[in-house]
Chain A
């Protein structure tokens, strides 16, 4: 609508706030030159051929070289934009691209030899959801049996070490194990009264960004436990680094994630080490970027590698041998591989909590599950089998739409004024009129104790950085009827050309996510297709039982706790053991973080058009 002829200057707050306003104040570092001629402009700005700006004093215009000063370029970093929710979409997409596979390749190409003091140890950690996406992509492009996560992991490991030059390759499931242990510990603290319930999961950076920007009142409910990515950063730079005799700044740590927002998470100031000027995670690349690197290097992930069906036991930890030599053996760097946490492919936070509660309950408990709306919003209730009393009420809540309803429910149950919106709180809105029921009965208790929150529908296996479904699935052609090379599976399908196929495309996207989900849970290795390669491999190799692997992870977790927190007295035998205050402080420092509300009061008057 056009403004009326009688345009008034009152109530400028009603002007439409431009969504691209940048409120970051640029600090003035140039000294002010005292004015000489009051009437004339004191300085003028010149631009040279390189694009640099110069301030030239008018007092002596003939002597250019003597009086002109190069002005400092104003820079806005990714962290500055994280502090503002104004133009976050476009700025984030530009700055996110600065963390790219090109950055990784540049680092590896320029890393000095390992005998140099400035050499950095390159380490890469891979999320299991990324492995599932790669596995689904391989399985859909070949006639072979579906490949397991372990097979994909070994092939990726071979690529990273032989082709890219990484010295250490890990998956993030052991870090997730630590995160789950600390998560459960934090929940118990809150249950005792130290903190608010429901506790909401904090592993999803998309969810964290959203809460910090628009629902700051939800922050007290967010778990402070670090995400598996950041726990992995702590493990690599603090714990493994000390084993290698390296400082955090002497390690370059890359993670492979299903999600672009993990790049933002890695860039948070909370995960920056001021002492060593380094981050827990130096660079995050997505599943798609890793696959792109493989294509650029002509590496076929469909080709089996030697030993991909073997379980690699962490030898050094089974026997608890002490290493008097002090030299870091390779065996000592191994972590338990691909630990399976029953529950969800997004991390099993809710199910781990349920298992812990059931395990520690003195009486028998029963579990009921109810789908609130499709599989992306489910409620889980634990109750006493004898009395029916409810002892725990949790939910799994995925997708932006379900988050809206969750925020409203949590806010309503806690009596918190929900949301202020990007445009500020609506002042003066009167509270809801409480309508008493005719029979005066209270509403049934429906408050949650815990919610596993993920921003993507379907969870992390459907993250934005995952591989897209192959084109033939969208065309409706059966994978048996038409073969296509796996390396073009990332080609984007142009839906605009065929509006009539919107429904099939929508179907295949959802079906593809199911394939990735299935690949995620296939932890049983299968024999390779080629008889020749099979002959070369060891026969009869047995998988390490899931229970044994978890038990091994428990022991290693206690060891990590002892070696990073330095408790007085006896070393903890379990993660749940209490230590002295200084050690507990270190535990919080290494495995917890914090969140910050982002203010975005963009006033119309301050906007420069």
Chain B
């Protein structure tokens, strides 16, 4: 397809090492660490740095491989907002909670990663795990159709706050609102469900969103204030949902359907656009960049903008593909894409693929 692309995608690191497909990656929010997990039941961690001014791209170095002890695939990862705790979701139906030992002062090195706690309760494979923005809540979901919400307590202790049995099929993904305690879940039953806490009772399902024609694999909230979120599906589309105004109710509607993938959309990641890249046009508001990937092995970078045309009640959503890369992991599926959250490193994201590799990429603007 002939598209006027605004940027190119350049590989800046290729990180092999997993013995089986790499499922998921997670950037530490406070420290320069990228973690990946795999069907080989391990978690690998890479440190990265941008110390040398002559090399503006970050350099990645493998630091540790955690055997985990999970008896099956480690399917998903999540860092706590403090960056001190890593949660692992495994096909053995458990969630592992990992923290690093205090290092020896003389060596100056950090200690080993230890499993501080094991969250049991799911009956079948865990598919996703996520911390809330404050780090006080952890959500997990599983093929047993349930979503669990845990409250984080000191000393890696957790308390079960809710067991939500709302979906009628395998739950693929859970994602927290960037500011509020709203949880979204995506499922094999083609729906997205939203959950709220009832102060006098348990967590409950506040909304069910339909529209996708097939499995919903992935979710991503608009990172600034969470007025929107996106969902990726087996129907090869990405939907942008907007929250409708209303007190006490939780209502969303589809405002855009992004088509461009030839196969299932397995992962999406939404980041703020750098300030320098934001459009200067009058009445246009940048909502950031959305990265998507999936079964076709392609990576698409979408620019999402919000236009407040005169007179209209609701802003109009515009989107365009600003970059595209095919066969990012050769002939293999790409399972996850995630933007680097570190300030000062714009346009960097990583992917994990069925080839067992983790790759790091950078957006390069194409000269006009």
Contact = CB atoms under 8 A, between A and B. Distances in A.
A427 B207 contact: no
Given A421-B123, A424-B71, A401 B163 contact: yes
Interface residues of B, number: 56
Interface string A1-17: 11111000000011011
B249 A433 contact: no
B295 A429 contact: no
B171 to A, nearest CB: 14
Contacts of B39: 14
Most chain B CB inside 10 Å of its own CB: which residue of A422, A424, A457, A506: A422
Interface string B133-174: 000000000011000000000011011111100000000000
Contact of B92 (A421, A500, A506): A421
Given A423-B91, A424-B92, A432-B117, A1 B123 contact: no
A4 B266 CA distance: 15
Interface in A14-55: 14, 16-17, 19
B69 A430 contact: yes
B114 A430 contact: yes
Contacts of B125: 16-17, 423
B354 interface: yes
Given A400-B163, A424-B71, A427-B69, A432 B208 contact: no
Contact of B72 (A1, A418, A423, A432): A423
B162 to A, nearest CB: 6
Most chain B CB inside 10 Å of its own CB: which residue of A4, A13, A400, A433: A4
Contact of A401 (B70, B71, B160, B354): B160
B150 to A, nearest CB: 9
Contact of B120 (A374, A419, A433, A499): A419
A4 B204 contact: no
A435 interface: yes
A1 B22 CA distance: 11
Contacts of B159: 405
Contacts of B274: none
A405 B121 CA distance: 10
Interface in A387-429: 399-402, 404-405, 408, 418-429
Contact of A421 (B21, B122, B155, B335): B122
Contacts, number: 120
Contacts of B331: 5
A502 interface: yes
Interface stretch (B93-101, B282-290, B339-347): B93-101
A346 interface: no
A510 interface: yes
A255 interface: no
A13 B72 contact: yes
B156 to A, nearest CB: 7
B202 A401 contact: yes
Contact of B91 (A3, A16, A435, A457): A16
A99 interface: no
Contacts of B158: 408
Given A427-B71, A433-B101, A433-B114, A421 B93 contact: yes
B333 interface: yes
Most chain B CB inside 10 Å of its own CB: which residue of A3, A19, A408, A503: A408
B124 A17 contact: yes
A426 B92 contact: yes
Interface in B189-232: 198, 200-202, 204-208
A521 to B, nearest CB: 22
A4 B70 contact: no
B124 A214 contact: no
A465 to B, nearest CB: 18
Nearest to B205: A502
B204 A14 contact: no
B332 interface: yes
18 contacts: A1-B333, A2-B333, A2-B354, A16-B125, A214-B123, A399-B202, A404-B121, A408-B158, A423-B93, A423-B125, A426-B69, A426-B118, A429-B115, A430-B114, A430-B115, A432-B116, A433-B116, A435-B155
Closest 9 CB pairs of A and B: A428-B69, A404-B160, A419-B120, A4-B354, A423-B93, A422-B123, A421-B93, A429-B69, A423-B92
Given A2-B295, A400-B163, 19 more contacts: A1-B21, A1-B333, A2-B333, A4-B332, A13-B71, A14-B72, A17-B124, A19-B143, A408-B158, A421-B94, A423-B93, A423-B124, A425-B71, A426-B71, A426-B92, A427-B69, A427-B71, A429-B115, A502-B206
